[in-house]
């Protein structure tokens, strides 16, 4: 729901409760701003090793290439030739780095995959064309798309619509933007019931028990605003498994070294040489396209890791020094007192 994430006003928060204290997920790891830091390899090795000089020389050669030369080299190496010049540079640099480290004592031979699965979420919520500062966004579509980080494929998806309670009548703007009709939400169940089924879906995948996983979103709004506000409205405790996530906009900007203006969904797709597939602002279609970007980044050598968390009811950056942990096993949502 990109347009609302960009222009929507934060909803008024209710008073501090015991749950707010529980949500201070980064109490042991400072949540100071850290967006400009480049994630470092978990395999630091000895940087005096000659392999790093070879990597630097390869990077210099790549930097001097024009786009036609970059495309030709990617084709020669059987790499994806789509994308703008900066994306092609990053792709080649990552390829040569991986190849050289795999044949060097500076690495063990494999690229670490932090998570077995990445679950992409992109909620759709009630909205007005001009939201007032105290407008409460209610989730009306709950989609999830599951990425297998080993096969680099989308392996499953979940989608349910949700009945809004505070603003049960959808605005004309909301219907036009999301494509979700009044009849659809009228026939849907409440958020609490939908969240239960979403948790059951995650549990059947053995996420957090057998497999390590985390969530990924397009920005901070999905977890930091929409889910947080919805849990308050539904008198549900914020789910512990959703307290940390990957903000793909930050990951994309840091990895490809582009400004924030180039980290919108459509822009990221176009820069990677892809087109949007589906209906914009359909939560499931948005999630699938975000997943396509994540898969492309993994193929280009990006090490996607958690970079945001919910801290005192607000989204905060997670420092690179924080330990790499998967989300806890999902549990049935609990009612608040």
Q: Any idea which residues carry the catalytic annotation?
A: 124, 281
- Pair type for strands 314-317 and 213-217: unpaired
**Cα–Cα distance measured from residue 237 to residue 20, given in angstroms and rounded to the nearest whole number:** 9
If DSSP codes are grouped into helix, strand and coil, which group holds residue 10? coil
Rounded to whole angstroms, what are the CA distances from 302 to 45, 51, 214, 295?
A: 18, 20, 16, 9
The beta-strand segments (E) located in 89-136 are 117-121, 124-125
Altogether, the residues listed in the chain come to a count of: 337
Q: Is the dihedral of CA 312, 203, 326, 258 positive or negative?
A: negative
Contacts of 268 (CB under 8 A, 6+ apart): 248, 249, 252, 262, 293
- Pair type for strands 213-217 and 117-121: parallel
**Cα–Cα distance measured from residue 184 to residue 182, given in angstroms and rounded to the nearest whole number:** 5
Neighbouring C-beta atoms of residue 247, cutoff 10 Å: 25
- Pair type for strands 213-217 and 244-247: parallel
């Amino acid at each position: 729901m990109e347009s609302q994430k960009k222009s929507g006003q934060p909803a008024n928060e209710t008073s501090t409760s015991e749950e707010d204290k529980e949500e201070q997920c980064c109490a042991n790891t400072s949540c100071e701003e850290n967006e400009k830091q480049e994630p470092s390899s978990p395999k630091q090795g000895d940087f005096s090793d000659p392999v790093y000089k070879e990597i630097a020389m390869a990077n210099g050669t790549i930097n001097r290439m024009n786009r036609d030369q970059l495309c030709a080299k990617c084709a020669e190496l059987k790499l994806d030739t789509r994308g703008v010049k900066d994306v092609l540079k990053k792709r080649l640099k990552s390829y040569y780095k991986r190849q050289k480290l795999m044949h060097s004592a500076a690495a063990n031979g494999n690229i670490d995959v932090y998570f077995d699965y990445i679950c992409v979420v992109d909620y759709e919520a009630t909205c007005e064309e001009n939201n007032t500062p105290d407008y409460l966004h209610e989730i009306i579509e709950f989609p999830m798309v599951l990425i297998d980080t080993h096969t680099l494929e989308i392996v499953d998806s979940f989608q349910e619509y949700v009945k809004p309670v505070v603003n049960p009548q959808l605005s004309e703007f909301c219907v036009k933007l999301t494509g979700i009709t009044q009849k659809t939400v009228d026939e849907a169940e409440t958020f609490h019931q939908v969240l239960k089924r979403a948790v059951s879906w995650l549990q059947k995948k053995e996420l957090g028990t057998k497999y390590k996983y985390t969530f990924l979103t397009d920005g901070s709004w999905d977890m930091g605003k929409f889910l947080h506000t919805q849990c308050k409205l539904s008198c549900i405790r914020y789910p512990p498994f959703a307290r940390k996530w990957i903000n793909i906009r930050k990951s994309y900007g840091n990895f490809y070294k582009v400004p924030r203006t180039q980290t919108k969904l459509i822009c990221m797709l176009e820069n990677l040489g892809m087109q949007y597939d589906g209906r914009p602002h359909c939560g499931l279609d948005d999630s699938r396209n975000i997943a396509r970007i994540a898969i492309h980044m993994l193929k280009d050598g990006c090490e996607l890791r958690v970079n945001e968390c919910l801290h005192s009811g607000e989204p905060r950056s997670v420092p690179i020094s924080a330990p790499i942990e998967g989300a806890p096993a999902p549990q049935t949502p609990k009612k608040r007192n």
